Every structure is written in C-alpha cells, then in structure tokens.
Amino acid sequence: MDKPLETDKRPLLQVRDLRIGATAYPPGEPPRKIEIVKGVSFDLERGKVLGLIGESGAGKSTIGLAALAYGRGGVKITGGRVLLDGEDILGLGRRGIRGVRGTRVCYVSQSAAASFNPAHRLMDQVIEATLRHGLATADEARARAVRLFGLLGLPEPETFGNRFPHQVSGGQLQRAMTAMALCPEPELIVFDEPTTALDVTTQIDVLAAIKSAIEQTGTAALYITHDLAVVAQVADDIMVLRHGETVEHADTRKIIENPDEDYTRDLVNVRAVRHTEAAEQSDRFFEMAGINAAYGPTPVLHDVSLHVPRGQTLAIVGESGSGKSTLARVATGLLAPNTGDVRFDGETLPPQLKHRTREQLRRMQMIYQMADTAMNPRQTVGQIIGRPLRFYEGLRGAGQRRRVGELLDQIEMGQGFIDRYPAELSGGQKQRVAIARALAAKPDLIICDEPTSALDPLVADGILKLLTGLQRERGLSYIFITHDIAIVRAIADSVAVMHRGRLVRFGPKSGALSPPFDAYTDLLLKSVPEMRLGWLEEVLSTRQIESADN
C-alpha cells in the first residue's frame, strides 16, 4: 500500500507500472505470449479528464478497461497496480469488483448500437445498473435519467427513455449510453472512442454533450481515442501511447503546441500531404449527367451531375446516407440509374455492368473502404494482383509473376509479400495490395470508396501519399469518396458535397471550400475537429444550422 495521503488530495485513480499480456496466434507459428501494455503509470485526479491516444494496437483500450479491472478476450493483467481511491482494485476478487463496476467506474463503448439490447426500452437499460446496485429507487433513478437526457441535449428528455434503440439516431444512442454511465453517479467514466463511429457533423454534438456532462457532474474521465484533435477539446491532460508504452504525458496545451517527442509531433502534424488544385477543370473525361437512382421504390439520388477532368481528383463528401457510395455504384454499373448518363472518355457507358465491355471495365477500377473484405482471404497476394493481369492482358506464368513483383515495388511493399495471404498483412498493407490490384488493370480512373477511413492517421497518410504519387506518374483520375474534409483539402482538385441524395455543391476545391457557404457545407466544414484548444466552444457558438441528428 502507498503511504496514506489525505483523502481529498489523493488522486482518484493511480495506475502503477501496469503490465498486460495476451497470447498471440500468428498464422503458421506456435502461439506465443506477448505483452500489450509494458509498464504504464499515471494519476488521474477527481473531476479531471485524461486523454489516452495512440494508433490501433497501442494498448489504449486495454488500459482503459484495466481501470475496471477487466481484461477483454483472453487478455490478462499480469502486473502492476490500479488504485481507485487508494484501494487496489486488481486484488478485489469477483465479488469485490462487482461493487466497483457500474457504480464507481462506468464504461462507454465505441459502438452504442451494438451495446444496447434492441428488445428493451432505453430507460430500462439506462437505469438498470443503478437499480441493480441499489443506488437509488426506480423513481429516483428515472428522474436522474431524465435530468441527464436533458443535460446531454437529447430531444424530449421526459419521454426519450420510452423509445427503443432503433428509434433513435446513432448520435443520440451514443449520448444515451453516456447517460447510462452517468446515472449511477460514478467517480470515473471510461470513454472508449465514443465518437469514432459517428459522422463529423454528429460527432461534434456528442462531443459537446459529453464535455458539458463531465463538467457539470464533476466526474473524472479517461477518454480513449485515436483522434488527437478530438481529445484536445475535452481532456485536461493527454497521454500518448505507442506499442504499449508511454511516449509522452503532459497537459493538453503542451502536447498540442509544444510536444517533446517526434512521434507526438507526427500525430499533431498529420496530413502533411498537400496538393494544389489544377487550374483548368473544364475537361469532361468522366462525367455523370442528370443521374436519378433508386433502390427499388426508395429514391436515393436526385438529379446528380458532375465530372472529373483527366488526371485530376474529384472528392465526393457527405455524411453516411448521403448517397455518395450509391453514386459509385452507378458509376461502376452495379446499380443502373433510372435516368441519366455515365460518360467516360467521350463514350456513353451502358448503364448495366453486364453490358459493358471488358475494355470499359478495365479502364475503371475500384478501391474499397474495408481492405479485409475486398480481398479473397483464400488467395495469396500474388494471385490477387495476378488475376487482373491474366484477365485483361492474358499475362501468365513467369511474366505475370514479374509484373506482380513490379507492382508490389510500386506500392512500396517489396516482392517478399507475393506468397502471403491477406490475413498475414496489416491494415495499411492490405489497402496497398488493393491499390496494386487496381493498378494491375492499368486503369484511367480509380474510384476510391473511403480507402483510408478504417486506417490509423499515420498509415492513412502513407496511403494518400502513395495515391497522389501514382497520379503524378501515370496521370490517373480519381473519384475519392470520403467524409473527411481534411483529406479533401489534402488531395482534391474539385469537390462535390452530397446531402440526402442531392448535390449541394460542386466545383473546384478553392471555390467549393470557401465562403459563401450553403448551410450544409458550412455545418460540415465547421464540424471537422481542429488541432487547437477552444475549437469546440468557438464552433458551437457560430453554427448556422443544427446537425441533421437533432
């Protein structure tokens, strides 16, 4: 035991030399023990917020769960101490820990949609832990929940709890989950990427709600995220983690404005890719004119017209459900439009995929968001990249293998990967292989459907550099679908903003992303977190419209 301090001065949470291990099962090798967290220590005082930040695999979620003395899926806490108010919760045993979880320490997970039981009303789930632990009577708990709903900015707080999870939006559900965590009036809440799965326009509301709720209830919080700009808005201190070790731990202002470590500086300065837009954009190399499309009776696209000049990048932005992926399906022929034409290099393409010629298909390739599912897990890298070579050029045997090797060099991976399976690659490597597969067809246009949104910022940056480099070398045109304005600024020549199936803005980047804005573009642009303190407050006070979510 540490020397007993005066209760009010003692930090709420003290983590000392925390070590967490797991067993890894690398394909084709015997299982071995690995250490996920290698001796991390920190203090968290009452009412303060500590941000844990790092790429995937940095161990940040694992540390967050350790604050509840919990190890997820085979993960074991192997050493160190987690002191909650001076008491080591790792030694409490099953019964003892139950008195901590859900009463003194609560947890908010990334995917609220997956964490709520769809068969029960929100209210019953929000007050469940409070009732089970006997912290309040049902009426008190309900009153508390209603107050929290109001505090978190949920619509109609009195009746909100009567709804089922499917009757509210993703952002509202995330806030309901925060209410659930706050309801037992815990001393500490662990937020595990609470806004990562949300659109930027929704993220900002949830972020503001979480921030004001923390301030008003005086709860301490661990805020886990991979987005430094987000955590900078809510945290008092930030701890940067990498490979299970602390890189840097300081107050937020110091991390953002004057970091000591190179790695932190990389995180702050991510998006080093810069692309100045082309001056001449009248070329209609690829064009979609007057597209109306529907899934069955549900109209999705309304009169969308846009074009991409040869060798340039068109970024299509919008939140989920805005129709941007559907536009890609129309372009590729997977969904035939009801009206409108798709023209490519002077010829009008048949609306349906099966009527397009092999040559037409070859010239337009696609890169997907999830590289995991975009590649057949039973084929090697060589087979995946080799197939388009064989299919379009009839290249086989040694010639094909040589070309695959060249393509692997171009995506900066090297020929050693040719006989690997996708499962043996990292997320960034998988996306690179997907790019090589598209390149193998020697296309003129590549449609990229959020190719970096599932990747860590630094890895994503590498992919963007690769794509822009390839564009310069080969004169490729890109249609780049994304919800990330920072990426648009980095790589686009022209921008199309989609909202509810309509094109609200289209034109050269400089024009489209500068005022005067229509209301939606304004909201979208202002919702992108900026890497500075006070951004959140500033934005909330100057917005033209509320997000669609409310």
Partner 1 sequence: MKQTLRSIPVSAWIGMAGITVAVICALFAPWLAPYGENQIVGDPWAPSSAEYLLGLDNLGRDLLSRLIYGARTTLFVAFVSTVLAFSLGSFLSFAAAAMRGPVDVGLSRINDLLMSIPTLIFALIVLSALPQNMTVLILVMAVLDATRVFRLGRALALDLSTMDFVEAARLRGEGTLWIIFREILPNALTPLLAEFGLRLAFAVLFISTLSFLGLGIQPPTADWGGMVKDNKDGIIFGVSAALVPGAAIAVLTVSINLVVDWLLKRTSSLKGGRGDG
Question: Which residue number, 467 or 492, has a Cβ lying nearer to partner 1?
Answer: 467
Beta bridge partners of 32: 24
Q: Which of 37-45, 95-103, 261-269, 367-375 is the region at the interface with partner 1 (rule: CB under 8 A)?
A: 367-375
Closest to 47 in 3D by CA, of 13, 87, 5, 94: 13
361 binds partner 1 (CB under 8 A): yes
Query: Helix 381-393 crosses helix 397-410 at what angle (to 10 degrees)?
Result: 120
- Buried-state track 198-214, b at ≥16 Cβ within 10 A, e below 16: bbbbbbbbbbbbbbebb
358 lies in the binding site for partner 1 (CB under 8 A)? yes
Region from 85-93, 114-122, 307-315, 371-379 binding partner 1, contact rule CB under 8 A: 371-379
Residue 506 near residue 494, CB atoms below 8 Å: yes
Nearest distance from residue 450's CB to partner 1, in Å? Answer: 12
In the complex with partner 1, the residue whose CB is nearer, 280 or 359, is 359
Nearest CA among 39, 43, 45, 49 for reference residue 18: 39
**By CB under 8 A, residue 134 contacts partner 1:** no
Please report, as a single letter, which amino acid is at residue 117.
N
Site membership for partner 1, residue 356 (CB under 8 A): yes
Cα angle vertex 296, ends 294, 300, to 5°? 25
Token pair 């004119």 in the structure block, residue: 289
Using CB under 8 A as the binding rule, whether residue 387 contacts partner 1 is answered as yes
Q: In this chain, which of 4, 31, 394, 515 binds partner 1, going by CB under 8 A?
A: 31
Where does this chain touch partner 1 (CB under 8 A) — which range of 48-56, 100-108, 203-211, 356-364?
356-364
With CB under 8 A as the contact rule, which of the stretches 13-21, 186-194, 294-302, 355-363 interacts with partner 1? 355-363
Nearest distance in Å: CB 329, partner 1: 9
- Rank residues 74 and 469 by Cβ distance to partner 1 and give the closer one: 74
**What residues from 315 to 354 belong to the interface with partner 1 (CB under 8 A)?**
332-334, 353
Indicate the residue among 74 and 91 with the shorter CB distance to partner 1. 74
State the nearest-atom distance from the C-beta of 360 to partner 1, in Å.
9
Q: Of residues 4, 30, 297, 346, which one binds partner 1 by CB under 8 A?
A: 30
Burial of 250 from C-beta contacts in 10 A (0-12 / 13-18 / 19+): middle
Rounded to whole angstroms, the Cα distance separating 181 from 398 reads: 60
Q: Cβ atoms within 10 A of the Cβ of 453, count?
A: 14
Angle ∠(545,546,547) on CA atoms, nearest 5: 115
Residue 338 carries which DSSP code? S
Which residue of 109, 281, 365, 431 would you call a contact of partner 1, by CB under 8 A?
Answer: 365
Range 413-452, binding partner 1 (CB under 8 A): 437, 441
Nearer to partner 1 (CB atom), residue 394 or residue 515? 394
**DSSP codes, 10-49:** S-SEEEEEEEEEEEE--TTS--EEEEEEEEEEEEE-TT-E
Residue 23 binds partner 1 (CB under 8 A): no
Report how many residues bind partner 1 under the rule CB under 8 A. 26
3-state SS string for 422-483: HHHCCHHHHHHHHHHHHHHCCCCEEEEECCCCCCCHHHHHHHHHHHHHHHHHHCCEEEEEEC
Interface residue with partner 1, options 282, 378, 398, 542 (CB under 8 A): 378
Q: Which stretch binds partner 1 (CB under 8 A): 140-148, 318-326, 383-391, 454-462?
A: 383-391
Residues in contact with partner 1 by CB under 8 A are: 30-31, 332-334, 353, 356, 358, 361-362, 365-366, 368, 370, 373-379, 387-388, 391, 437, 441
